[in-house]
Structure 1
Amino acid sequence: MNIRTATTDLYNSYCDQMRKIADVRYSLAVLQWDQETYLPPLGADIRGRQIATLTEIAHEMFTSHSFGDLLSNLVERTELTPEERRNVELSLEDYTKSKKFTPEFVRARSEAISASFHHWLLARKENSYAVFKPYLEEVIRFKREEAELLGYEKHPYDALMDEYEKGSTVDLADKIFADVQGPLRALLNEVQQRPEADDSFMQQHFPKDEQWAWGQYLATQLGFSFGAGRQDIAEHPFCTNFNNRDVRITTRISENDFYNMTWSTIHEVGHALYEQGLPSIQYGLPLGEYTSLSIHESQSRLWENNVARGLPFWTWYYPILQHRFPAQFANVGILQFINAVNKVKPSLVRTEADELTYHFHVMIRYELEKQLIAGSLNAADVPGFWNEQYEKLLGLKVPDDRQGALQDVHWSHGSFGYFATYSLGSFYAAQFWQQVNDDIPALTNELSTTGSSALLLDWLRTRIHVHGRRYTSEELCKMVTGKGLDSTVFVDYLRSKLRS
């Protein structure tokens, strides 16, 4: 047997093991999706156990000594192709991190998160943070321990941020938010000096079934394949996948708020298009996974805001919308509609915020998480800090827990370190949007005259989706746009839109 054949056999063994691990993880993901959509309330405790068992099994498979030996052997082999080498290097990096956690820790953390999620649902139903607090305390305890096990140089929150955005640190995030906060505050003050756009027509009665049909129509038009996915209702909109041929999105519907369902659907479709665009041949391997959470968010924010709050998009789709909802929109002109969907006004709920004030919502959560992990704040302090910051940054008094500290699902999932990626995603999206319009001058005309976004989706598929985790976010951004993350592109984009 020659060296290349031996290496190929080893690499195939690696692929087989990675795909078996993926099979377990995605089976686990199906249970988690069901947990958030159709699980009967009395099934919560046993479901938590089932999820914990599969989480423990997947961890043990991935961190076995034999698999570690295989990775160590493979990474030294010079016969690997560049794609093979990158898969092995990334898997070894993941393996090294995962080895820092015992199976017992992984299981206990999973059980705490499941309990936390179900009590978050109950707390939202009862509009009572007190119901959620003891379970959040337990999750925070695990996340603090996780940070210590992972290790960090300066701040414990760095360890958790790195899980979602490789190389991200408190120092970097602090600088990015400091750089944008002043310009965004100035722009907000400027906008607030002008008459407020009338969007009262967006709060009429919109029947649930008609909104649902509209959302599915939009998803299809944007390129989401229902042959490789589905849409459902959940308490908090999200996207999940089990492979690129089974991608699930969820939304929520308010019959008295047209914004809610339409833009949350477009946002989640952006995530789903990324997942459906990942290479099938790399199933279970790092190059079949998304680059980072900020790049994932760049995809959802690009479709939700750069595309679906723009005049070219609605030049085509607004007459269709008027036909579907004549009683609500027949007497509303397209420019009035565009002004409404780009209305800037401080609000309480992040997922319903405009493009400008959205980032103040993110900053509040980022600061709160950072202090929770550092130990300068505890779970009992969350509502007070939250309410104080909303009054300070957005001038709003928080009326209740549901519209306050209970509005996001992330903490109940144990997703500490995630929130900064929402803003980073918007900043990357602005750069990608600028670049695609430079590369495809006909894009705007195509959107407005045919409603087709195929040119945009193809550009995203070939420039971003196809690479999986091959590159870091910064490497990918430089390759696509010629430079790394530059938040001034986003600020300039907003200034241009809001001053026009």
Structure 2
Amino acid sequence: MQKIADVKYASAVLQWDQETYLPPKGNDFRGRQLATLSEIAHEQFTTEAMGALLQELSSKEDLNDKEKINVQLSLEDYNRNRKLSSDFVRRMSEAVNASYHAWVKARNDNSFAGFQQPLHALIALKKQESDMLGYEQHPYNALMNEYDKGLTVATADGIFTNLKPQLLSLIESIKNKSQVDNSFLHQHFDKDAQWKFGIEILKQIGFDFEAGRQDLSLHPFTTSFNNQDVRVTTRIDENDFGNMTWSCIHEGGHALYEQGLPTEEYGLPLSEYCSLSIHESQSRLWENSIGRGLPFWQHNFKLLKTFFPQQCTNLTVETFYKGINKVEPSLIRTEADELTYHFHVMIRYEIEKMLIDGTIAAKDIPAYWNEHYKNYLGVTVPDDKRGCLQDIHWSHGSFGYFATYSVGSIIAAQLYASIEKENESVNREIAKGNTTAILNWLRQNIHQYGRQYTSGQLCKNITGEPLNSKYFIDYATKKFTGIYDI
């Protein structure tokens, strides 16, 4: 299993390089290299000998609890991977490579047309993957299960159905109040100074630069090759301070999870993250519950003024706190406030479901996207770059991912409520610059377990109850009624 992991992580290094430093002429050969490595890893993992070994191990009586779980989960992974041929895995990797580079060019050209055909080909393969993996009720369930074991269309639909009216009600209340000012975020902020500030924030929340690094990319992301080498990326807009800052904190949350996974389990399921929903709960907890909270900036406002004295003239920490939490419909998901964010996710989720069940095709995406941004958020999409080309996920073939952003936000609120209940002084500690207690709590309750539990099991183990959107609504209501004096 560790040898197979070596091949997979070698591939991950090439993918990281592809999105950070690869020269344009290297695209084609890089696609070949990635396809070869993905095929090799799949072939090694799905041999009959591996299956026989896992079956033999699963029948043994003398394994300890961790060994039993590693064998059980490995056998599940084996049986699922056996449903996909090595040739299919290679073709998928090649399609993803072609799609990714088409997406980059289409973004630069600000035209979906250049991305449409490669995406269409990739969607056809994802439909085939759904059929090969097998599913009940909806073909999209097979793909969602890859990112969060047991997550289904029925569950996600229920979550969004519950969230939508409550979010709309809160947003409507905010509309009737005086809007907060966040113009200070859109002054000129020097690129190098932003970079250095982001590094300081990452250090403060506990990111270990001896076991990781940060770089620039078109779309912020986190990747890990083991818990001693975790890479994050950010992007910098000199006229939008928020773009870099909360990308750093969000990706930092992902990275802290990866750096906290068990070293001794490398290559085995218990060294891997629980699910993408839990992963997103980590990034959203750091980004929003902490990084958009008043206590965090009561400590870091002095640091902010040190780096950007001119931009902070006549700015108070209370004004800053309100401004960074401004609720206003917008075009870009990664820059959206905590309330309207979920409508960005809903739109993508609905599009993916329909692409996989054949209700719409790739060519229909821009029109559907633009129509629903108008309906849900009341904004007019001016072009493809700020519309359906803004996210990297589809170019990676990551269909089934988007719902985990909203599920992760709900889990984050539920986790943070438990943290506050167990440690009444936690917000006072954050205001003093100490987030160590939070990181230790996450290490103890989440990171150390790897894939031992499903998202639902982990959530119940920690908080004493299943996933409950009430915690997110309560958190958001308390926060934004305070900011907008509702």
Tell me which interval the TM-score lies in, with the shorter structure as reference length.
Answer: over 0.9
Q: Which residue number in structure 1 is paired with residue 250 of structure 2? A: 267
Q: Which residue number in structure 1 is paired with residue 440 of structure 2? A: 458
Q: Which residue number in structure 2 is paired with residue 497 of structure 1? A: 479
Q: Which residue number in structure 1 is paired with residue 218 of structure 2? A: 235
The aligned runs of 1:244-393 (5 Å cut-off) are 244-393=227-376
1:467 paired with 2:425, answer: no
Counterparts of 2:11 and 2:291 in 1: how far apart (Å)?
A: 33
Instruction: State the TM-score, normalizing by the size of structure 1.
Output: 0.96
Counterparts of 2:203 and 2:184 in 1: how far apart (Å)?
A: 26
The aligned runs of 1:61-100 (5 Å cut-off) are 61-100=44-83
Counterparts of 1:211 and 1:331 in 2: how far apart (Å)?
A: 20
Instruction: Provide, for residues 23-56 of structure 1, a one-character-per-residue CA deviation record: whole Å limited to 9, x for no partner.
Output: 0000000000000000000100000000000000
Counterparts of 2:453 and 2:136 in 1: how far apart (Å)?
A: 23
SS at match of 1:232: strand
SS at match of 1:249: strand
Q: Which residue number in structure 2 is paired with residue 212 of structure 1? A: 195
Q: Which residue number in structure 1 is paired with residue 466 of structure 2? A: 484
Instruction: Provide, for residues 117-167 of structure 1, a one-character-per-residue CA deviation record: whole Å limited to 9, x for no partner.
Output: 011000001101001000000110000000000111100000000000111
- Structure 2 letter corresponding to 1:96: N
Counterparts of 1:453 and 1:299 in 2: how far apart (Å)?
A: 14
SS at match of 2:259: helix
Instruction: Provide, for residues 216-263 of structure 1, a one-character-per-residue CA deviation record: whole Å limited to 9, x for no partner.
Output: 010001100000000000000000000000000000000000000000
1:195 paired with 2:178, answer: yes
SS at match of 1:241: strand
The equivalent position to 1:39 in structure 2, one of 10, 18, 22, is: 22
Q: CA shift at 1:488, angstroms? A: 1.1
Counterparts of 1:103 and 1:315 in 2: how far apart (Å)?
A: 54
SS at match of 1:376: coil
Counterparts of 1:468 and 1:152 in 2: how far apart (Å)?
A: 25
Q: Which residue number in structure 1 is paired with residue 33 of structure 2? A: 50
SS at match of 1:328: coil
SS at match of 2:382: coil
Q: CA shift at 1:330, angstroms? A: 2.5
Counterparts of 2:447 and 2:103 in 1: how far apart (Å)?
A: 33
SS at match of 2:215: strand
Q: Which residue number in structure 1 is paired with residue 98 of structure 2? A: 115
1:136 paired with 2:156, answer: no
- Structure 2 letter corresponding to 1:241: S
Counterparts of 1:105 and 1:133 in 2: how far apart (Å)?
A: 21
Q: Which residue number in structure 2 is paired with residue 9 of structure 1? A: none
**Structure 1 residue runs of 4 or more that deviate by more than 4 Å after TM superposition:** none
- Structure 2 letter corresponding to 1:124: R
Counterparts of 1:70 and 1:415 in 2: how far apart (Å)?
A: 31
The equivalent position to 1:151 in structure 2, one of 112, 134, 139, is: 134
Counterparts of 2:429 and 2:313 in 1: how far apart (Å)?
A: 25
Q: CA shift at 1:319, angstroms? A: 1.5
- Structure 1 letter corresponding to 2:451: R
Counterparts of 1:274 and 1:290 in 2: how far apart (Å)?
A: 8
Over the residues paired in the alignment, what is the CA RMSD in angstroms? Answer: 0.5
SS at match of 1:167: coil
Percent identity, aligned pairs only, is 56
SS at match of 1:230: strand
Counterparts of 2:454 and 2:151 in 1: how far apart (Å)?
A: 11
Counterparts of 1:187 and 1:283 in 2: how far apart (Å)?
A: 45
Q: CA shift at 1:440, angstroms? A: 1.1
SS at match of 1:326: coil
Q: Which residue number in structure 1 is paired with residue 405 of structure 2? A: 422
Q: Which residue number in structure 1 is paired with residue 394 of structure 2? A: 411
Q: CA shift at 1:489, angstroms? A: 0.8
Instruction: Provide, for residues 68-104 of structure 1, a one-character-per-residue CA deviation record: whole Å limited to 9, x for no partner.
Output: 1000110111111110000000000000000001111
Q: CA shift at 1:441, angstroms? A: 1.2
1:26 paired with 2:25, answer: no
- Structure 2 letter corresponding to 1:351: T
Q: CA shift at 1:487, angstroms? A: 0.6
- Structure 2 letter corresponding to 1:41: P
Q: Which residue number in structure 2 is paired with residue 7 of structure 1? A: none
Counterparts of 1:97 and 1:53 in 2: how far apart (Å)?
A: 20
1:441 paired with 2:424, answer: yes
Q: CA shift at 1:442, angstroms? A: 1.5
- Structure 2 letter corresponding to 1:394: L
Counterparts of 1:211 and 1:355 in 2: how far apart (Å)?
A: 23
- Structure 2 letter corresponding to 1:98: N
Instruction: Provide, for residues 293-312 of structure 1, a one-character-per-residue CA deviation record: whole Å limited to 9, x for no partner.
Output: 00000000000000011111
Instruction: Provide, for residues 288-345 of structure 1, a one-character-per-residue CA deviation record: whole Å limited to 9, x for no partner.
Output: 0000000000000000000011111111101111121000013111111011011000
Q: CA shift at 1:459, angstroms? A: 0.5
- Structure 2 letter corresponding to 1:258: F
SS at match of 2:304: helix
- Structure 2 letter corresponding to 1:225: D
Instruction: State the TM-score, normalizing by the size of structure 2.
Output: 0.99
SS at match of 1:327: coil
Counterparts of 1:270 and 1:296 in 2: how far apart (Å)?
A: 8
Instruction: Provide, for residues 429-460 of structure 1, a one-character-per-residue CA deviation record: whole Å limited to 9, x for no partner.
Output: 00110000111112111111x20100000000
Counterparts of 1:398 and 1:301 in 2: how far apart (Å)?
A: 26
Counterparts of 1:201 and 1:70 in 2: how far apart (Å)?
A: 61
